[in-house]
Amino acid sequence: MSYLLWIIQIMFVPLVAPLGVGLINSLKARIQKRRGASLLQPYRNLWKLFYKDEVISRDASFIFRFAPFIAMGVTIIVGACLPIFTSTLSTPMSDLLAVVYTLALGTFFMALAGMDSGSAFGGSGSSREMTISAIVEASFISSILTVAFLSGTTNIAVMSAGLSPGSGNFLIPIVLAFAAFCIVLLAETSRYPFDNPDTHLELTMIHESMLLEFSGKRLALMEWAAANRLLIFSILAVNLFFPIGIAHDQAVLSVLLGISSTLLKVAIVYIVLAVLESTIAKYRFFRLPDLLLVAFVLNVVAIGLVL
């Protein structure tokens, strides 16, 4: 049983992530009164890209060639460390800081790959991405830290087991930290109002402009990794702060309940994202620190209220 659970745990993020992107795109199309592509379109895109040849810039070095594998690998590792449907699968890998910095390793190589080809777009994309990820990191760590102090462990896989939801004095710090984490989620996954994932204008891109040089398999891995990242942050948002339905044992029924509740909660996050992206405008780049400062203040208050 445990092996089976581990297989589900490891496969969950990479397999479900493209569906999530499909869901967001299709919802956005609906809001625009279009029918849009099918939910499965991201899988088709990836599959097609895997069967295309590649053109690699002659200026690019091994960093460019290996960055997609590291970016993808990092999201698989972190995906396997999350409390996806149960709080019983725990390894020392699930440490809060290990997860944050492993994700940062992926960003590090992605940003380097953006600079590697020497294109003007890639470099400015890397600069913007690193600017945002540099100032968002403090909020990322401290929002999860609030939950860690509540549950007495920084192991995110088992964190939810230490929480007793509904208890009154937990609620305010959890809600504050969750609000802060939502801002972190938008920043780290390059969504509105930080970045426009659908843009074709190089000048306004942040994340996408680092990918302009990638083609074929490497592009597929980069896009897949971005989808995984979105799912990872969504799972963290719902299962750390509101671990309702998550299994605390390995019985078949509670695991099934865990999986379905996670899918439901993540779907809600994606629906909110789609609505958000259809209704608000992108922020000016230099207004983003204000938003991140808000996240930071929320976190400080949340941690202060915990103890």
Partner 1 sequence: MMSALASPTMLIAAMALFGIGGVGAVLLRKSDRLANYWSSAFALFGSVTALVFAVSMLASGQTFVAQTTSDSFPLLSFALNIDRLAAFFLVTISIVTFFCSLYGIGYIKQYYGRYNIGYLGFLYNLFIVAMLLVVTSSNGIFFLIVWEIMSLASYFLVAYDRHDPENVKAGFLYLVMTHIGTAFILLAFILLYVHTGSFDFTVIQAAMPTVPAHIKDSVFLLALIGFGVKAGIIPLHIWLPAAHPAAPSHVSAIMSGVMIKTGIYMMIRLFLDVLQPAPLWWGIVVLVIAVASCVLGVLYALTEHDIKRLLAYHSIENIGIILLGVGSALVFSALGMSGLAVLALTAALFHTLNHAIFKSLLFLSAGSVIHATGTRNMEKYGGLIKLMPATGLFFLVGSIAISALPPLNGFFSEWLTFQALFQGIAQTDFYIKWLFIGVTAALALTSGLAVACFVKAFGVTFLARPRSQRAEKAHEASAVMIAGMAGLAVLCVAVGVGSSWIIAQLQTIAQGVLSAGDHATLVTVTSGHILSIAEGFATVSAPLLSLLLIAVPLVVWTITRFGINRSQRVTTGRTWDGGTDLTSRMEITSTGFARSIILIFRGLLKPSLQHSVEYEDAASRLIPRSRSVTLSVQDVYRRYLYRPVFIGFIHLSHWIKNGIQNGNINAYILYILVVLLVMLGLVGVW
Partner 2 sequence: MQQLPELEVIGSALQDNVRRLFKGSLAIRQIDTGSDNATEQELAALTNAYYDIERFGIHFVPSPRHADMLLVTGPVTRNMAEALKRAYDATPHPKLVVAVGDDAIDGGIYKGSYAVLDGVSQVIPVDYQIAGDPPSPLVIMQSLLAILDGAKKAPKQKGQS
Q: State which of positions 31-50 bind partner 2 (CB under 8 A).
A: 32-38, 40-41, 44-45, 47-49
- Sequence-ordered list of residues with C-beta below 8 angstroms from that of 23, at least 6 positions apart, any chain: 39, 267, 270, 271, 274
DSSP 282: P
Please tell me the count of residues contacting partner 2 according to CB under 8 A: 33
Q: Can residue 111 be called a binding residue for partner 1 (CB under 8 A)?
A: yes
Q: Please pick, from the candidates 13, 82, 84, 98, the single residue that binds partner 1 as defined by CB under 8 A.
A: 98
CB 165 within 8 A of CB 239: no
User: Of these, 7, 11, 55, 172, which contacts partner 2 (CB under 8 A)?
Assistant: 55
User: Both tokens of residue 63?
Assistant: 């960093």
Whichever of 202 and 242 has its CB closer to partner 2, that residue is 202
Min. distance of Cβ 34 from partner 1 in angstroms? 29
Least distance from partner 1 to the Cβ atom of residue 248, Å: 17
For partner 2, the closer of residues 140 and 214 by Cβ is 214
Mark 269-287 as b/e (b = at least 16 C-beta within 10 Å): bbeebbeebeeeebeeeee
CB 112 within 8 A of CB 126: yes
Using the contact rule CB under 8 A, the part of the chain among 28-36, 97-105, 226-234, 264-272 near partner 1 is 97-105
Cβ atoms of 240 and 99 within 8 Å: the answer is no
Binding site for partner 2 (CB under 8 A): 29, 32-38, 40-41, 44-45, 47-49, 51-55, 199-202, 205, 208, 211-216, 219
